[in-house]
Amino acid sequence: MPVRLHRKRPAPWSLRRQTIQHAWAVPLWAFEWFWEWVAYILSNWSFLEVLEYLGSFSILIAVIFYFSESGDRLKQKHYQAWQVINTAQGKGGSGGRVEALQELNADGVPLVGVDVSGAFLQAIHLRGARLVRSNFSGADLRDSDFASTDFSDSDLRSANFRQSNLRSANFQHASLNDADLWGAYLNGADLSGATIVSADLRFADLADIHWHVLRALKNANIYGVKNAPDGFIPWALLHGAVQLESDSQWQPAP
Overall pTM surpassing 0.75 (yes/no) = no
The DSSP 8-state label assigned to residue 151 in this structure reads -
The pLDDT value recorded for residue 27 is 74
Distance between CA atoms of 169 and 162, rounded to whole angstroms?
A: 15
The pLDDT value recorded for residue 231 is 95
- Taking CA atoms, 153 is separated from 86, 174, 175, 234, in Å, by 20, 4, 7, 27
Distance between CA atoms of 242 and 196, rounded to whole angstroms?
A: 12
- For residue 140, the SS3 value is strand
Which residues, given as ranges, of the chain have pLDDT below 70? 1-7, 10-11, 13-18, 20-21, 25-26, 28-29, 31, 33, 35, 37-58, 60-72, 252-254
The pLDDT value recorded for residue 1 is 47
